[in-house]
Amino acid sequence: MRAVIAVTTVLCAATLGVGCSPSPSGAGDIVVFAAASLRSTFTALGSRYETDNPGTTVTFNFAGSSDLVAQLIQGAPADVFASADATSMTEAVEAGLVSGGPAAFATNTLTIVTPPENPSGITVFADLAWPGTQLVMCAPQVPCGAAAARLEKAAEVTLSPVSEESAVTDVLGKITSGQADAGLVYVTDAAAAGDKVTTVPFPESSRAVNHYPIALLAESARPEAAQDFIDLVNGPQGREVLAAAGFGEP
């Protein structure tokens, strides 16, 4: 399931391929499709954009990057696409959805999260393969899942998750609700969860760095406004917000 929100409105949920976002009416109103891990940072940047451009609205669709590409290919209207990996952006480029060249704006890595106090005693990446461990991770086609697969190969560890989710926020939700012993999420999501989880860093994480690209979409109805938002993300204010959330430099 994907979620579509406007910065100034309440959450609107819909199934894949069914739009629920309002059609922007202002000259500077834009629709941004962004990876689920960008929810907090992009919502903050959307608010800044609206402050700097009175009377405009940024409407967000946050979901797994692969789901977002599928929606765009099916004709979902949007102005900007920000992916959690280069693979999803490449798919969008090859489908003719992107105008110009994508630009990397951040990096992210995975970390282990457990319920508070880490009741299963997980301390290293290999512990996730313990028999009986209720592990949750992203599905392989999702950027966070692809990163996890690279880590498995690098660490020579085979993981057997009890659930594979379509977005990293869904993995985090399984942990904060106590439905699993451990999960693999981005360091930024772990930081945002605060004391709702215990974070277990592991050195192998540096072997699977995800690079986040952003691009103007070819069918954008408001390309100038969309480019202004992209410039905000790539500029000093965007870097400040992203760094505060734990994202690395592109």
Sign (positive or negative) of CA dihedral 174, 104, 240, 56: negative
Distance, in Å, from the CA atom of 90 to the CA atom of 144, rounded to the nearest integer, reads 16
Is 37 among the annotated ligand-binding positions? yes
Angle between helices 236-245 and 39-52 (to 10 degrees): 150
The SS3 of residue 246 is coil
Q: Are strands 80-82 and 110-114 parallel, antiparallel or unpaired?
A: unpaired
Two tokens at 25?
A: 């009416």
The DSSP output letter for 198 is E
Is 241 among the annotated ligand-binding positions? no
Is 206 among the annotated ligand-binding positions? no
Is 32 among the annotated ligand-binding positions? no
Contact between 135 and 164 (Cβ < 8 Å): no
Contact between 187 and 166 (Cβ < 8 Å): no
Angle at CA of residue 110, ends 105 and 112, nearest 5°: 150
C-alpha dihedral, 52 to 84 to 66 to 78, nearest 10°: 10
Distance, in Å, from the CA atom of 59 to the CA atom of 20, rounded to the nearest integer, reads 11
The DSSP output letter for 158 is -
Residue 57: what are its φ and ψ, rounded to 5°?
-135, 135
Which amino acids are annotated as binding site, given as ranges? 37, 65, 168, 186
Annotated binding site for molybdate: 37, 65, 168, 186
